[in-house]
């Protein structure tokens, strides 16, 4: 290393350090930088040509874009200035990518390196064109016809898309915009199910096998009801992987519906033909996967629930009012009856009062009459009747024998008090008694 | 003389005032006719006297009872009630 590290290397033949290999008949030794520059000059003098091959190992750097051009028999490292690359990309349908067949124009170049950087050979690319588009399209079309003839384009179409899948599988590039678009589409639908991601490269020659593997993985996960295979737009070469025969056959035979969204709406890959549904954008694919607008459906259900609740409330309320009315009816009836009874009671009471008053007055009058009668009777008892009795007493006294006795007469009586009114009777009685006004005197009959 | 009147009174204990008065009238009419013997006269006078005493007692009792009834007070009270 120390031999080649000095930039102030002496010319060939100068001193021991520059001495050649003893016995060698070759010229030199020459300083390697000089030789490298000379080699660069010779390589640059090579004829400018066009090369065709597969673009692989694409590596952009700050100033240049590096890649290799390969075919089955060999390969050449290539480099292109970044500004040229960008100009090519701007004109092409999409940036050239790994796996593409490309034609490049340019010539050989050699970077001689330096004390601190490595040398390198490259084919300096001045222009680039994606090669064989026509051939590719023809090949794709042949494969399409073959798949159609085998009926493989119809198998997925017969599968029923679940209107509201619980689990959706998505195969797309991990960092791609399609991923965000799908999320946005699902979000717009208001879908809140399980999402199973199957990240895979979506261009170059590794893409198709990776997508097939990812589909297999989704199938084994279980529960995945529909799968979306998506990527954004690209050139035909970019999308070529979605025309892969193995991929298309795999999708056709899947029992799980596959929704494809590959490229723009103008692009049509074989996967789009094979898939159950083909959508122009990942957003549409997401909306196709979820047939129901969950947000609106949820809102509709909320509205329906609210209507139901309101109608239920009204139904209950109206019946409750009816029942309340019915329940008040007996009470109202009772109240009417009670009022009527009260009225009747008042009438009876008033009648009774009137009657009682009239009876009282009548009674008073009767009492008055009674009093008068009583007074009259009392008068009878105290005056009239006693007078009458007095008259009777006087009349009776006029006949009283006592009065006769008081005038000097005497009454002859038997000893038992019986009056003796005849002489004959007297003669038969031995003993008699004489009743005077003041006393009784016993007497004896002398002459029989 | 007292004995027969007492007996007569005892013989008709339930006699009413009217019946007693009518009997006295009847006795007087009999005595007034002059047909009654001395003995009957004595008996009738005794009976009449008892009946008159009975009537007098009856009158006094009825009068007292009438006064006891206090009909004037009843009338006064009823007039007060019917006026209220």
Enumerate the residues of chain A whose CB falls inside 8 A of the CB of residue B30.
Answer: none
Q: How far apart are the first and last CA of chain B?
A: 62
Enumerate the H helices of A380-430 as residue ranges: 385-398, 401-406, 423-428
Which residues in A lie closer than 8 A to residue B83 (C-beta atoms)? none
* φ, ψ at A295 (rounded to 5°): -60, -50
What pLDDT does residue A134 have?
58
Determine the 3-state secondary structure of A437 from DSSP: coil
For strands A64-71 and A49-60, give the pairing.
Answer: antiparallel
Give the length of chain A: 448
Region of residue A37 (phi > 0: left; psi between -120 and 50: alpha; otherwise: beta)? alpha
Query: Closest partner residue to A396 among B1, B49, B63, by Cβ?
Result: B49
Strands A74-81 and A49-60: unpaired
**Measured between alpha carbons, how far is residue A149 from residues A143, A152, A153 in Å?**
10, 8, 9
| pLDDT tens-digit map of A75-87 | 999 999 999 988 8
Determine the pLDDT at residue A228: 93
Buried b (16+ CB within 10 A) or exposed e, A230-265: bbbbbbbbbbbbbbbeebbbbbbebebbbbbbbbee
Instruction: Show Cβ contacts of residue A81 under 8 Å, excluding neighbours closer than 6 positions.
Output: A63, A64, A65
Nearest to A421 among B36, B38, B69 (CB): B38
**CA distance linking residue A241 with residue A263, whole number of Å:** 12
**Which chain A residue has its CA at the smallest distance from B28's CA?**
A396
Distances (CA, A) of A322 to A163, A309, A310, A325: 45, 20, 18, 5
The pTM for the full model equals 0.42
pLDDT for residue B1: 43
**Chain A residues within 8 A (CB-CB) of chain B?**
357, 360-361, 363-364, 367-368, 370-371, 374-375, 377-378, 380-382, 385-386, 388-389, 392-393, 395-402, 411, 418-419, 421
Distance CA A421, CA A413 (A): 8
Contacts of B28 (CB under 8 A, 6+ apart): A392, A395, A396, A399, B48
Q: Which residue of B has its CA nearest to A420?
A: B39
Across the interface, whether the CB atoms of B63 and A418 are under 8 A apart is answered no
B82 touches chain A (CB under 8 A): yes
- Per-residue model confidence (pLDDT) at position A227: 93
Q: What would the 3-class secondary structure string for A263-303 be? A: CCCCCCCHHHHHCCEECCCHHHHHHHHCCCCHHHHHHHHHH
Contacts of A357 in chain B (CB under 8 A): 82
| Best mutation target, A357, A364, A417, to test chain B (most B CBs within 10 A) | A364
- At A133 the pLDDT is 62
Distance CA A65, CA A75 (A): 17
Averaged pLDDT for residues B2-17 = 55
ipTM of the complex in this document:
0.75
Residue (of A1, A57, A71) closest to A32 by Cα position = A1
Look at residue B10 in the predicted model and tell me its pLDDT: 46
- Mean pLDDT, range B21-33, rounded to an integer: 89
Measured distance CA(B56)–CA(B47) in Å, rounded: 14
Residues of chain A with confidence (pLDDT) below 70 = 1-18, 92-94, 132-136, 235-237, 264-267, 448
**pLDDT score of A12:** 45
Query: CA angle, B55 as apex, B54 and B59 as ends, to 5°?
Result: 120
Work out the angle at residue A330's Cα, subtended by the Cα atoms of residues A325 and A336, and round it to the nearest 5 degrees: 110
Query: H or E element: which one contains A317?
Result: helix A294-379
- Residues in B 28-47 with any Cβ partner in A closer than 8 A: 28, 31-32, 36-39, 41-42, 44-45
Nearest to A360 among B1, B39, B82 (CB): B82
pLDDT average, residue stretch B48-74: 86
Q: In chain B, which residues have their Cβ closer than 8 Å to the Cβ of A361?
A: 82
Question: Scanning every residue of chain B, which has its alpha carbon at the shortest distance from the alpha carbon of A360?
Answer: B82
Q: Cβ of B79 and A364 within 8 Å?
A: yes
Inspect the interface and report whether the beta carbons of A389 and B52 lie closer than 8 Å: yes
């Amino acid at each position: 290393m120390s031999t080649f590290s000095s930039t102030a290397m002496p010319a060939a033949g100068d001193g021991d350090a520059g001495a050649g290999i003893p016995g060698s008949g070759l010229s030199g030794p020459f300083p390697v930088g000089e030789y490298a520059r000379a080699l660069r000059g010779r390589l640059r003098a090579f004829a400018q040509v066009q090369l065709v091959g597969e673009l692989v190992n694409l590596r952009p750097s700050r100033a240049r874009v590096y890649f290799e051009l390969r075919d089955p028999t060999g390969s050449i490292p290539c480099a292109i200035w970044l500004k040229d690359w960008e100009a090519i990309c701007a004109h092409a349908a999409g940036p050239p990518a790994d796996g593409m067949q490309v034609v490049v124009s340019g010539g050989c170049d050699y970077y001689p390196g330096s004390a601190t950087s490595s040398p390198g050979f490259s084919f300096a690319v001045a222009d680039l064109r994606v090669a064989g588009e026509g051939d590719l399209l023809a090949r794709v079309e042949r494969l399409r016809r073959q798949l159609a003839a085998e009926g493989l384009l119809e198998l997925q179409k017969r599968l029923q898309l679940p209107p509201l899948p619980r689990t959706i599988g998505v195969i797309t590039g991990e960092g791609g915009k399609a991923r965000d678009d799908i999320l946005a589409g699902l979000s717009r639908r208001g879908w809140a199910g399980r999402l199973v991601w199957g990240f895979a490269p979506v261009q170059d020659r590794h893409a198709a096998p990776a997508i097939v593997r990812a589909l297999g993985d989704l199938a084994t996960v279980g529960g995945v009801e529909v799968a979306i295979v998506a990527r954004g737009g690209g050139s035909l070469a970019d999308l070529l992987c979605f025309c892969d025969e193995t991929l298309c056959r795999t999708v056709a035979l899947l029992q799980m519906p596959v929704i494809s969204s590959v490229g723009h709406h103008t692009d049509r890959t074989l996967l789009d033909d094979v898939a159950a549904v083909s959508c122009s954008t990942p957003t549409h694919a997401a909306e196709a996967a979820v047939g129901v607008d969950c947000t609106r459906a949820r809102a509709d259900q909320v509205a329906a629930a609210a209507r139901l609740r309101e109608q239920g409330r009204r139904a209950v309320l109206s019946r409750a009012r009816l029942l309340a009315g019915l329940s008040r009816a007996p009470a109202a009836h009772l109240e009417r009856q009670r009022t009527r009874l009260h009225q009747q009671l008042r009438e009876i009471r008033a009648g009774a009062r009137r009657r009682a008053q009239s009876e009282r007055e009548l009674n008073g009058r009767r009492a008055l009459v009674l009093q008068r009668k009583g007074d009259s009777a009392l008068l009878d008892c105290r005056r009239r009747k006693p007078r009458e009795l007095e008259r009777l007493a006087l009349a009776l006294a006029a006949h009283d024998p006592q009065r006769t006795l008081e005038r000097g007469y005497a009454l002859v009586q038997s000893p038992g008090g019986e009056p003796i009114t005849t002489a004959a009777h007297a003669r038969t009685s031995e003993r008699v008694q004489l009743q005077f006004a003041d006393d009784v005197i016993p007497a004896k009959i002398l002459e029989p | 003389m007292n004995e027969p009147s007492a007996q007569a009174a005892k013989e008709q204990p339930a006699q009413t005032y009217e019946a007693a008065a009518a009997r006295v009238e009847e006795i007087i009419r009999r005595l007034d006719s002059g047909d009654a013997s001395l003995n009957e006269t004595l008996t009738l006078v005794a009976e009449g006297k008892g009946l008159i005493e009975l009537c007098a007692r009856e009158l006094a009792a009825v009068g007292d009872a009438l006064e006891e009834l206090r009909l004037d007070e009843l009338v006064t009270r009823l007039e007060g009630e019917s006026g209220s």
